[in-house]
Amino acid sequence: MIRQRPSTVDQVEMVSMRRRDLRHVMEIERAVFPEPWSTTVFTSELALRTGRAYRVAKVGKRIVGYAGLMFTPDEAHVTTLAVAPAFQRRGVATVMLLDAVALALAHGARHVSLEVAAGNEQAQALYRRFGFAPVGVRKGYYPVTGEDAFVMWAYDIDSEPYAARLADIGARLRSRR
């Protein structure tokens, strides 16, 4: 009998980010982004007890990704989302975005926004699966590279059709296992 190892998706646990996680978060941040946030930025974001939520994706004790959200009365904004290079294309970002939308809903958000690099087609495809659509462009948004950012929104995340979309994404994710 051949035993299959469980997929990464089966092992991902989403938990609140803590200051002690920042060393590992910063390793991913520097590996993934040409213009990484500083430890100071993360520390100041974590200090904001209301209006923000930062989560890490863990496989065992290893941090393999993280996501952040900022909340306003009926909206949420994805401030950051990153997966360690060794864990990309394994469903981790999908798990993290499902978690982020659930957090947004728990905070009363009806809509979610984010910015994504114009050249990051892989991330854009993920966001489109979640119903995000481009609504604008921030020219030269990333100063180090000069790259534009697409502003994307997912509207009515509290609706039945969006709940069905999330259920479908979850079912597809489980079928990968």
Q: How many CA atoms lie within 13 A of 40 on its CB side?
A: 0
Q: Strands of the chain (E only): list them.
A: 12-16, 52-59, 62-72, 75-83, 111-117, 133-142, 147-154
Enzyme catalytic residues: 115, 127
* DSSP-based three-state secondary structure for 174: helix
Three-state SS for 94? Answer: helix
Residue with tokens 């209301």: 50
